[in-house]
Structure 1
């Protein structure tokens, strides 16, 4: 089974009509992993797979536009007839379970244990599901955040998550077949290094010698077309925009 990435949503910082926030379905080696759970992506996920079949969920960081549809999944699994055969492993920053429980007005997280098995990410976290290997690297954001390197039978996908410029991005993406990279901002403000410009994304792709660059998480000061063109001018690699509903093979 080839390593594939299906785009569920790319919007930043909030969803729009027919435009969910960040979320992707990663499939390969017998595994299916929901990567980031931005608002609207749980509905989009159901267009491509049965959520009860998920092997794991992987959350880059706990900002709302990347994580809040975990609530939708919790309701679906617990009350909506989509219960998985076993609790789904959720790889996320350490505070994820507590935040979800707090939103539901619960002081403890044990009531979630029948649907989710929370496992804290850390820099260098490495796990294998079937023939799919997932490795996390800490990246530069204004909260605990991780990028992802996924490897399956010789194919490699890298995902920046949300990040400013940092050495970990090029290490994460080194020679990746597909590099899914944010290009959220038009330009850096003084002292602010928590997101990438299109040129930043292109430079990382060039430095890491990736095969293809896929631009995502384009913020409201840019258009997808503009961000992709600007990244392509720097990357020297085939560059495209991530578009909802499209599937890419690594």
Structure 2
């Protein structure tokens, strides 16, 4: 039944800034009556409202606090507290340690701290964190991005979607994605650096991670400005034998 499927709607996938036709990273994950906003990059709140009102979102999950994944939390704060929609309770927000203080720092304009907890019920992520959001089960693992950063496995009805966030190739992501129905994985870098740790996947890395994890499907996202989506898909496909698609803004994928 289609009601049992996990649906992934791409609100945006641009980096490092929103473009004319593509907001930054953000996704709406839905299953049955459950709605989860995953990453809140610049421009994604506007696109979210094409599909659901903000008061219909069951929770928000943030991979890390770079602006292209979290900046629209600032405007969401004003929407929750000052728009014409009534919220019965703060929206559960799963994010890296320090998310509440980071938002308050940006939003406070007087000597009195902005009441960010009135808009969001904060839950700090950690490696191995588990949560239930409506019909969805969320498992979070720490990944390698130079700052606190996380990937998530979202499961419901025996189906699974894994989102990498931003990360270098790492064992935690591969283990998290083991046997998943779909891996939504970034392909930011056009080439690996000559030395030092890499904070992103190249398209080849993306294909390698999906193949090593035994993912059934690969969705390439967060394609860097030195790449075209078609090039990223082509290069990832050379390493991964399953179906590969680009996470184009506005597209909805049915998982499972």
* 4+ long deviations beyond 4 Å: 106-110
For the Cα contact (< 8 Å) 2:189–2:223, is it kept in 1?
yes
Aligned to 2:183: 179
Alignment check: 8 A CA contact 1:173 1:210 kept:
yes
Q: What are the within-5 Å matches in structure 2 for residues 85-234 of structure 1?
A: 85-105=88-108, 111-189=115-193, 190-234=195-239
The equivalent position to 1:80 in structure 2, one of 67, 78, 83, is: 83
| Secondary structure of the corresponding residue to residue 234 of structure 1 | coil
Length-normalised TM-score, structure 1: 0.97
TM-score (norm 2): 0.95
Count residues in correspondence.
250
Residue 184 of structure 1 deviates from its aligned partner by: 0.2
Question: What's the offset of the Cα at 1:105?
Answer: 2.4
Q: What SS is found at the alignment partner of 2:146?
A: coil
Residue 247 in 1 paired to residue 252 in 2?
yes
Residues 147-190 of structure 1, C-alpha deviations (whole Å, 9 max, x = no match): 01000010000000000011011111111111100000011111
CA shift, 1:113, in A, is 2.1
Alignment gaps of 5+ in structure 1: none
Report the Cα offset of residue 77 of structure 1: 1.0
**Is the counterpart of residue 28 in structure 1 residue 50 in structure 2?**
no
- The one-character-per-residue Cα deviations of 1:83-139 (angstroms, maximum 9, x if unpaired) are 322110000011111111111226776712222101100000001123210110000
The range that moved more, 42-51 or 28-37, is 28-37
Instruction: Tell which deviates more after alignment, 134-143 or 108-117.
Output: 108-117
SS of the equivalent of 1:157 reads strand
1:82 Cα deviation from its structure 2 partner? 2.7
Structure 2: which 5+ runs fail to align? none
Measured in 2, the distance between the counterparts of 1:143 and 1:30 equals 34
Q: How far is 1:72 from its partner?
A: 1.1
